[in-house]
Amino acid sequence: MAKEIENPCISVCYLRGDLCVSCGRTKDDIRKWKRMKRPEKMAAVQRASVRLKALKQATPLVTQQTGLPTGSG
């Protein structure tokens, strides 16, 4: 049996528009996660990783652990 794809949620939801800056997923990906098949989850995790990397490069004051702006929360 194939290993389950781990949910990238870190339980610190911080939405900026349609994007959670904590896990990198869109609202649509978050909403559909439980119904996604393995290949869809793999693709969602890959897209989220790319988004987070771009976000952290564009926003240097974002903390690496939570994705939240430094000094918030």
62 within 8 A of 55, measured Cβ to Cβ: yes
**What length does the chain have?**
73
pLDDT greater at residue 65 or residue 12:
12
Residue-wise pLDDT for 13-62, tens only, equals 899 999 999 999 999 999 999 999 999 999 999 999 999 999 888 776 65
- Please state the pTM of the whole predicted model: 0.74
pLDDT at residue 69 in the model: 59
Q: Where are the domains of the chain?
A: 1-73
pLDDT at residue 71 in the model: 54
pLDDT at residue 73 in the model: 47
Distance CA 1, CA 51 (A): 30
